[in-house]
Chains A and B, each alone.
Chain A
């Protein structure tokens, strides 16, 4: 069958069973948009800014097991998309981004809306392609989807010059992909797995630390079973929340810069650490020298060999797909007939419970000003822990991570790696489209929300009833917190003057706005908002402007050198 390049693009998306393409048209992608128009299998969602398109595709991907797809035009379309692409790259989110490019003959001539897309995006994609021959288009798109979702997932960009999308050729969609240069490992090394099991059985103070890899590889069930089989304490990273049920007794909370006291203490003082799909990020283990000062054996399972022994030397590296490896460990454990040392484990739990006794997440519940923690707790109660929660970046992100108890994976969407303000609202759009009828909340701050607020218009167009929980303290709160603690209370440019009236703003976009000023009104407002199943409700909570996120490990400090509250 002979098709144009543009027709081929749409055919390929249909073959990949793509439901939604998030995008914004422009000169270089006009032929492709023309073909989109002529069919109704792949639906297009018109965003208001290309950054929003990529975040929306990203949110869609995070909340499902599917690849998110975004489409942008050349030049500024691409440069606007870069923040979204880098966000997805840092968090290993599978995306395919299709970008238009100026016609082949114009490339390198400084043509209108020309930019070196492959060059600009190279450091923030898993891979990218410039299609120079229409006969390679279908195979390239097939490769793009394969690369995006296999191995350590990530965004893959396909740059298509305008003339390619207009040129005809014979179309065949390849059934399989084989690349001699790319063969991700699936099965873990059996010898290493044996060593790991041995270490786990000998552990006196074991700890399990899991990251975003568990969520991405859909290994949560297998992880949960293994953790229960072992009876060990488990902590999740910010990216890994939901990988293990937060309401379970064996869960000691999130670890890291704003992790719980018990999680950070247990992480530091364990003698055997099982790291699963996590990468010992600087926000997670603090100062690596301080962390390495305590001797412990580390087992590290990851699909990406370059994540292993990058920041922390490990003793037993296992490269492989998490579900496979966790299954192998569980089987070998069961077959061994041995049990972890019960007596030491009991003593270890006693120690952990003592740490837990600090109740590090306590806050002033009697405050007459709304406390942000209270809002998140009520959000958890009102949604019965069933909501998909998207967050922006800052204090509110940490409060959401600390106080919303995620029992299931793929319910918590946040920009953990790149820390992109503006991620929350567009991501929530993608999540809401993927899960129509499910409660979707966007926990945000007045700084972050304004970075992609134009997407309120997209929400109206597609009737996306996202519930926006704005924790409004009038400050770029996390910046203000650092300035208070480490820069002598000099609040350089962290106070945001002249904020808009968010209620009126929401109404101007055709949504429902609410302003909540008293702690007693928080629950009622949330209940009412979530009752409005068809409306986007923008809740502007006037929260305590001086509230800080605790516990806190200052950048560069050791994991156990925590600031627990204001008084310390």
Chain B
């Protein structure tokens, strides 16, 4: 099962490597990991997407909690939550492809943020499935490069991850 784990961690040098080291040392899987400071600059928030059985995910959250610098851990995918990912796609956009690419970008509510004679950079946000669908929907041979941030997530409604 795919799980989205959110955690708050002291914003200190090496904190990220403690988390990533834990995953590699214990052979846990990481699909994506994003991290940035929160509104309180002394703390960072991380979103980790991992795939594993319930037992493994339980161990992952326990092991994360055991890290001294980790303040709080929540598996936000246990309840209603929102996931977003940002993707930038550079595509070839010349001739008839230029108009088609613009249309596809509009359909997926993307924005073209860089334009040259022959290329576009399209900015797209959404959940993982939506971004995957966009890639599927356009002509693969036109993709020059893609970059994705990985998932960040937040619980819906009253569910709040805070100290």
Binding site for B on A (CB under 8 A): 118-119, 122-123, 126-127, 130, 132, 147, 179-182, 304-306, 309-310, 313
The 5 closest A-B pairs by CB, nearest first: A306-B62, A127-B68, A181-B71, A305-B62, A123-B25
Closest to A306 in B: B62
| Chain A residues whose C-beta falls within 8 Å of the C-beta of B68 in the assembled complex | 126-127, 147, 179, 181-182
Q: Once the chains are docked, how many angstroms separate the CA of A127 from the CA of B55?
A: 25
For A132, list chain B residues within 8 Å (CB).
13
Bound-state Cα–Cα, A223 to B99, Å? 77
Contacts of B21 in A (CB 8 A): 122-123
Interface string of B95-132 (1 = CB under 8 A from A): 00000000000000000000000000000000000000
Say whether A305 contacts B65, CB under 8 Å: yes
CB distance from A489 to the nearest CB of B (A): 35
**Do A306 and B25 have beta carbons less than 8 Å apart?**
no
- Given A309-B55, A310-B59, check contact A181 B69 (CB 8 Å): yes
A119 cross-chain contacts in B, Cβ below 8 A: 14, 17
B58: CB under 8 A from chain A?
yes
Within 8 A of A (CB), among B64-104: 65-66, 68-71
Q: Which residues of A contact B10 (CB under 8 A)?
A: 181
**Contact in complex: A306, B71 (CB < 8 Å):** no
The answer to whether B149 has its CB under 8 Å from any CB of chain A is no
By a CB distance below 8 angstroms, the chain B residues around A305 are 62, 65-66
Q: How many A-B residue pairs have CB under 8 A?
A: 39
Residues of B at the A interface (CB closer than 8 Å) are 9-10, 13-14, 17-18, 21, 25, 55, 58-59, 62-63, 65-66, 68-71, 163
> Does A181 lie within 8 Å of B70, measured CB to CB?
yes
With A119-B17, A123-B25, A130-B13: A180-B58 Cβ-Cβ less than 8 Å = no
Given contacts A180-B71, A180-B163, A181-B10, contact A306 B66 (CB under 8 A): yes
> Which residues of chain B are near A309, meaning CB under 8 Å?
55, 58
- C-alpha spacing A123/B58, complex, angstroms: 20
- Chain B residues with CB below 8 A from A118, complex form: 14
List 15 A-B residue pairs with CB atoms under 8 Å apart, sorted by A's residue number.
A119-B14, A122-B14, A122-B18, A122-B21, A123-B21, A130-B14, A179-B68, A181-B9, A181-B68, A181-B70, A305-B62, A306-B59, A306-B62, A306-B66, A310-B59
Tell me the minimal C-beta distance from B23 to chain A in angstroms.
12
Residues of A within 8 A of B71 (CB): 180-181
A309 CB to nearest B CB, Å: 7
In the bound complex, CA of A130 to CA of B10 (Å) = 15
- For A147, what are the chain B residues with a Cβ–Cβ distance below 8 Å? 68
**Interface contact A122-B17, CB-CB below 8 Å:** yes
Complex interface: chain B residues within 8 A of A127 (CB)? 68-69
| Docked complex Cα distance between A304 and B67 (Å) | 12
Residues of A within 8 A of B58 (CB): 309
- Chain A residue numbers with a CB within 8 Å of B14 are 118-119, 122, 130
CB closest chain-A residue, reference B70: A181
Closest A residue by C-beta to B25: A123
Interfacial chain A residues near B62, Cβ < 8 Å: 305-306
Q: Which residues of B contact A126 (CB under 8 A)?
A: 68
User: Could you tell me the distance in whole angstroms from the C-beta of B27 to the nearest C-beta in chain A?
Assistant: 13
A495, B160: Cα distance in complex, Å: 63
Inter-chain contacts of B59 with A (CB < 8 A): 306, 310
A202, chain B: closest CB distance, angstroms? 27
Residue in chain A with minimal CB distance to B9: A181
Kindly provide the distance from the CB of A524 to the nearest chain B CB, expressed in whole angstroms. 51
CA distance A304 to B58 in the complex (A): 14
